[in-house]
Amino acid sequence: MGDFGVIADVSTVMVDALTESLRGLSQVEPPIAELNDLSDAIQTPPPKLTVFLYEIAEDPVSRNRPPVRSQPPDPPTTRKPPMALLLRYLITPWGGDQETQQRMLGRALQTFYDDAILDGLQLSGTLAAGTDSLHLSLTPLTLDQKSWVWYAIQKPYRLSLNYEVRVVNLDSAVAFPVQPVRSRVFDGTPTP
């Protein structure tokens, strides 16, 4: 069940997965991953891999799903199907030398390639109780498209990764009561 906090929960899951994978890169000062909107200067050391949610869109493939009915013992209700979201992230290395930054990117690629579907115990927050899974994929953007992302946040271009996470289900908060059928009348007349 994805309530209004589901977007923040997805970001937390990604940061936790990246932080865990970065631990083995350096014994002296291991890099960390952090959620960051890139509006301020990134404070290093330690070297950081920032995770920036730069776009939220509705997943067109998952539109027009049927309404959701409540399960007993809850009172019978129906609600709109969950809004299927597509989240786009920019993952950028900061601090250390170029080699360290490229190793951080390599580790991020390896992490999300080896485990491109996050589910079960890997999920936390409102995602932990559900049966949903998150599908991560590296998004192929042209250099022009990447430049527009950096231009929009008013920062000079840096080598970074673009990932899409789908399908993140955001449940509707409005439920409509359903009255069960108590009787029916059959008059035997054929319908045309």
Burial class (CB in 10 A: 0-12, 13-18, 19+), 122: middle
* Residues 92-139 pLDDT 10s: 999 878 888 898 999 999 999 998 888 877 777 777 777 778 889 999
- Region 79-87 average pLDDT: 82
Between 100 and 177, the higher pLDDT residue: 100
pLDDT of residue 62: 74
| 160 vs 182: CA distance, rounded Å | 60
pLDDT of residue 119: 80
Domains of the chain, earliest start first: 6-173 (3.30.2000)
| 47 vs 146: CA distance, rounded Å | 22
With a pLDDT cut of 90, the percent of the chain lying above it is 19
